[in-house]
Amino acid sequence: MESVIVVGGGLAGVRAVEALRGKGYEGALTLVSAERHKPYDRPPLSKAVLAGESDDTTVDADWDALRCDPLLGERATGLRLDAPGRGGTVASTAGDLPFDGLVIATGAAPITLPGDGRQHVLRTIEEARDLRSRLTEGARIVIVGAGWIGAEVATAAAKKGCRVTVVEAADTPLANAIGPEVGALTAPWYAEAGVELLTGVKVAEVQDSGLVLAGGGRIDADEVVVGVGVRPVLSWLEGSGLLLERGVVTDGSFRTYMGEEDPGALRPDVVAAGDCAAWWSDRYGRRLLVEHWDTALNAPEVAAASLLGQDAVYDAVPYFWSEQFGRMVQYAGNHAASERLVRRGDPAGRTWAAAWLTGDRLDAVLTVGRPRDLVQARRVMAAGTPVDPEAMADPDVPVRQAVRP
């Protein structure tokens, strides 16, 4: 392999570059990034950057030592594949870029709402800085979506003295992420922070002066922030022949598949990682699309190894964290098929946890101010160790002591 292209200038992209060099790849290496900035971390955008505590989250990478040609401000526009194992060509705004190996790490883009009014999303450093400048005391800030991003933006806006309203289509915050039962436990945090929370309310469109609601009525706003999720950036891959279903479909080693023209055939010379990769997890027996920092940080190591013909499989326990309303909230695992939910501690207090189980298997855990629970639960899930459900429900029993012999 003499020429590798990494498409995507986020964390997954730069980690893929580092992993390729770290695993001994000596050929030409090019990073194609639609953003003009060098790769940077995105989680701080809705936390430290929005709060004014940081203005630069650039990933610390030695580009000279990596011997990588970063094409910043250039966008991939198409993909033409040659015969399996023979690479192809990335069409881009910088011209055609032939390759022997390709890493797809184009991430995801925020979903926006209908309407001609200005709506802020939070995906780039420019967007974070722009929104930060508008979070002034007394400003009417309306946030659509009571998910992770919505709660973090509401936290920052309330601290700056804004009048904040959060509008959520579901009946509870975080309903899609952690389910309505646990999501409902976070609803009191909004009122505690002086934030108005409106659930079960759908938005028809965004206007310059606020929101028009689907059921009639409107909400006036100086600024509207939309945090209703993201979609993988896949448009440049249409017509390439790769299998695309919600994301770039891969096996557990992040190798891609061909679609209708050669269904089920692997393309070991094309791998995908990060927010755009829908990878197979043996651990959970399903395909996962994990749009979180931890996966973007660690998955490229496996993707790079696979591209170089080395044996590697990624089956980590997914992990995510959020800082909202003065609380550290952490989640690990996947509870999509869990049978039972148990609580650890009183949700009315400042520290508590929830655990999802199937039989004596720990599937997932959410912790609020209980970092030890989180660390120990991740180890239990990674090892697949069975637990005692009753012990898991006792907040005074450390998770590591809830395992069955």
Domain layout of the chain by residue ranges: 3-109+230-307, 112-226, 326-401
Burial of 230 by CB count in 10 Å (0-12 exposed, 13-18 middle, 19+ buried)? middle
- List the CATH code of the domain at 326-401: 3.30.390.30
pLDDT for 264: 80
> What's the pLDDT score for residue 248?
97
Which residue bears the tokens 């498409």? Answer: 7
* pLDDT of amino acid 191: 97
Would you give the DSSP letter of residue 120? B
Task: Specify the fold of 112-226.
Answer: FAD/NAD(P)-binding domain (3.50.50)
> Which run of H or E residues covers position 53?
none
Same fold, 112-226 and 326-401: no
**What's the pLDDT at 166?**
98
The pLDDT of residue 262 is: 76
Sign of CA dihedral 262, 264, 269, 274: positive
pLDDT at 84: 84
- Residue 97 tokens, joined: 């870029």
Write the class of the CATH domain 3-109+230-307. Answer: alpha beta
Q: What is the amino acid identity at position 124?
A: T
Q: What is the mean pLDDT of each run of 10 residues along the chain (405 residues)?
A: 96 97 97 95 93 92 94 97 92 97 96 96 95 97 97 97 98 96 97 97 95 94 96 96 95 93 87 96 92 94 97 95 96 95 94 96 97 97 96 96 92
Instruction: Please give the Cα distance from 392 to 403 (Å, whole number).
Output: 9
The phi-psi region of residue 200 (left if phi > 0; otherwise alpha if psi is between -120 and 50; otherwise beta) is: left
For residue 374, give the 3-state DSSP assignment: helix
Q: Which token pair is 4?
A: 């590798």
* pLDDT in the model for residue 249: 97
Query: Encoding tokens for residue 159?
Result: 């601290």
